[in-house]
């Protein structure tokens, strides 16, 4: 049983399942009913909307949970909603039922934990991985400064900018023109998907775009009749007009690989919403990476994308006075495991340069910060080297991340509230890692690095910690680390201290007794 919440998602899922498996799914939605017996072509797969499942007394009652082995929730960040919980509880009457959730945006604005529905993260693959592996096109971000855009007075509601406040700001006449004019110029004939903040905003923005380029823009919102919406999407796919201005319609269930430019005329503080919006433009053009001989080679896929008619997608962000708000950008989404310091530096570079490949900006920022940290470590080590030999060596406490040369991962949305398991804690503490202040994401990162060091013959965590305290490199082999530690022991007289401990003096024995 495949559950989704929009008509577009239902037909997309049915089409993809049929293409991949060779099985034509039944559809249970509105006036479409799945076959109830094998005599009428009953399929092993049913695709249905959550609204249909709970309609009336519940059309889900038509289906015996015992007949299904899996309940698959598309756009699973919605799964904590009461309607989804009712449907999931129905199918979980079958004790053998597996519940699988798939989503590109596991970070919910309301921070409701997906752990209420799902036991674990089976597979984690974000947009940056997709870009690096050649399944998605690279993202280039452009920051456009808008003089009259002032979000400082907008309130925050449910983790994002208040809708009414935002609409009032974005519908201001001067702001509309300051957004429309650069959009026309930047697009330069490319197919553009525009996200607006309200129906009035979309209508006015569309009107101004058409004033610049007649018949170039149309707008759509949740209240647009479905037949009209389908025709509009078909015309847009066929490039009968350039700008599709939408209000919350193209965030989920919209699939048009031809989108070359995503215009965010709707600032947001929500990572999930931002990821949904920019994700609409990351699909490669049909046929570019579909050849079987490309499937095992990421370098060839990236090359095929680079040589295609759509070598990247450009994201246009409009920058004004955001006041106390921290708005999300592409750097936040592709930043993945980078620290906040790296992401902020990448954002500054993008705003300063105007246009920049986001992955490159992040990598450059990470390298700059790493080089600065290593330079400071070298300077500290050099300063300590000049201390007089008789001085007692003093060390500062080193975090496990500094010792291993890591930047702590940002806490994953689906990890919020999860406790470190006893096995994880035991493994880390046996390696000498203090776990008291670690969250689940950080513990997983440290275990990944420690086990990787075992496999690659790099020094252990205990060796790395001792070396890091003295400003020495930690990205060395076990034997190299041992040689450096032996040298430290010789200079600091460890061996002598150990012998004295094993062979106490007579006075010491007398004191003890």
- Check whether 404 has a pLDDT greater than 70: yes
Q: Specify whether 412 is located in the same domain as 346.
A: no
Give pLDDT tens digits for 97-110. Answer: 999 999 887 766 55
Q: Specify whether 468 is located in the same domain as 397.
A: yes
CB neighbourhood size of 290 (10 A) = 11
Q: What is the CATH number of the domain that holds 57?
A: 3.40.50.300
Q: Is residue 66 part of a domain?
A: yes
The average pLDDT across 215-228 equals 94
The first and second tokens of residue 415, run together, are 């990890």
Q: Specify whether 333 is located in the same domain as 454.
A: no
Q: Specify whether 59 is located in the same domain as 160.
A: no
Q: Specify whether 204 is located in the same domain as 286.
A: yes
Q: Specify whether 97 is located in the same domain as 137.
A: no
The average pLDDT across 367-396 equals 66
d(CA 387, CA 406) in angstroms, rounded, equals: 29
- Check whether 153 has a pLDDT greater than 60: yes
Q: Specify whether 159 is located in the same domain as 292.
A: yes
Q: Which range is most confident: 144-148, 272-276, 304-308, 425-429? A: 304-308
Q: Specify whether 358 is located in the same domain as 423.
A: no
Helix (H) or strand (E) holding 99: strand 98-102
pLDDT at 409: 80
The average pLDDT across 160-182 equals 93
Q: Specify whether 319 is located in the same domain as 225.
A: yes
User: Domain of 98?
Assistant: 2-103
Which DSSP state fits 292?
G
- Check whether 503 has a pLDDT greater than 90: no
Q: Which ranges of 62-221 would DSSP assign to H, the alpha helix?
A: 82-91, 127-132, 163-170, 173-187, 199-212
List, as one string, the DSSP characters of 7-25. HHHHHHHHHHHHHHHS---
What is the reported pTM?
A: 0.73
Q: Is residue 58 part of a domain?
A: yes
The first and second tokens of residue 501, run together, are 């401990």
- Per the CB < 8 A criterion, the answer to whether 279 and 104 are in contact is yes
Q: Specify whether 226 is located in the same domain as 313.
A: yes
The first and second tokens of residue 19, run together, are 């293409």
pLDDT at 513: 29
Q: Is residue 117 part of a domain?
A: no
Longest Cα–Cα distance of the chain, Å, equals: 101
Overall number of domains in the chain: 3
Q: Is residue 124 part of a domain?
A: no
Mean pLDDT of the chain: 86
Give pLDDT tens digits for 20-54. Answer: 999 999 999 999 999 876 556 789 999 999 999 99
Q: Specify whether 189 is located in the same domain as 137.
A: yes
Q: Specify whether 353 is located in the same domain as 410.
A: no
CB neighbourhood size of 71 (10 A) = 20
- Check whether 158 has a pLDDT greater than 70: yes
The average pLDDT across 125-133 equals 90
Give pLDDT tens digits for 173-209. Answer: 999 999 999 999 999 999 999 999 999 999 999 999 9
Lowest mean pLDDT among 287-291, 395-399, 438-442, 462-466: 395-399
The first and second tokens of residue 383, run together, are 């300063």
Closest CA to 389 of 491, 500, 495, 489: 491
Q: Is residue 122 part of a domain?
A: no
């Amino acid at each position: 049983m495949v559950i989704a919440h929009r008509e577009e998602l239902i037909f997309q899922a049915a089409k993809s399942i049929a293409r991949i498996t060779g099985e034509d799914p039944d559809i249970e939605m509105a006036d479409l009913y799945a076959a109830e017996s094998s005599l009428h072509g009953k399929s092993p797969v049913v695709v249905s909307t959550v609204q249909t499942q709970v309609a009336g007394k519940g059309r889900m009652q038509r289906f015996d949970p015992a007949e299904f082995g899996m309940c698959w929730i598309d756009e699973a960040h919605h799964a904590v909603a009461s309607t989804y919980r009712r449907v999931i509880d129905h199918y979980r009457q079958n004790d053998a039922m597996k519940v699988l959730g798939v989503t590109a945006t596991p970070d919910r604005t309301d921070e409701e934990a997906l752990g209420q529905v799902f036991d674990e993260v089976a597979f984690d693959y974000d947009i940056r991985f997709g870009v690096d592996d050649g399944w998605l096109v690279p993202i280039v971000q452009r920051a456009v400064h808008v003089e009259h855009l002032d979000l400082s007075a907008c309130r925050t509601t449910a983790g994002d900018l208040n809708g009414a406040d935002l609409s009032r700001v974005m519908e201001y006449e001067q702001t509309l023109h300051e957004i429309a004019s650069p959009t026309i110029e930047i697009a330069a004939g490319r197919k553009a998907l525009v996200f607006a903040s309200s129906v009035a905003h979309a209508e006015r923005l569309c009107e101004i775009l058409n004033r610049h380029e007649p018949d170039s823009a149309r707008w759509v919102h949740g209240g647009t009749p479905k037949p009209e919406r389908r025709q509009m999407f078909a015309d847009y796919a066929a490039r009968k007009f350039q700008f599709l201005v939408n209000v919350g319609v193209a965030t989920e269930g919209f699939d048009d690989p031809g989108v070359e430019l995503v215009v965010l005329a709707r600032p947001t503080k929500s990572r999930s919403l931002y990821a949904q919006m920019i994700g609409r433009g990351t699909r490669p053009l049909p046929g570019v990476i579909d050849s079987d001989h490309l499937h095992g080679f990421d370098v060839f896929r990236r090359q095929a994308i680079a040589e295609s008619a759509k070598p990247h997608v450009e994201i246009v962000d409009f920058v004004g006075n955001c006041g106390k708000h921290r708005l999300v950008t592409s750097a936040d989404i592709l930043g993945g495991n980078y620290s906040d310091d790296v992401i902020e530096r990448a954002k500054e570079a993008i705003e300063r340069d105007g246009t920049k490949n986001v992955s490159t900006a992040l990598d450059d920022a990470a390298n700059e910060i790493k080089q600065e940290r290593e330079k400071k470590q070298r300077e500290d080590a050099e300063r300590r080297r000049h201390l007089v030999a008789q001085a007692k060596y003093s060390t500062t406490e080193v975090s496990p991340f500094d010792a291993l040369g890591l930047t702590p991962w940002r806490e994953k949305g689906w990890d919020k509230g999860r406790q470190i398991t006893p096995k994880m804690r035991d493994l880390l503490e046996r390696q000498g890692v203090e776990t008291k202040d670690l969250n689940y994401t950080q513990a997983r990162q440290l275990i990944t690095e420690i086990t990787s060091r075992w496999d690659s013959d790099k020094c252990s965590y205990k060796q790395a910690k001792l070396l890091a305290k003295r400003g020495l490199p930690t990205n060395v082999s076990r034997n190299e680390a041992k040689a450096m530690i032996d040298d430290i022991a010789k200079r600091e007289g460890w061996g002598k201290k150990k012998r004295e401990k094993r062979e106490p003096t007579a006075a010491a024995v007398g004191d003890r007794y």
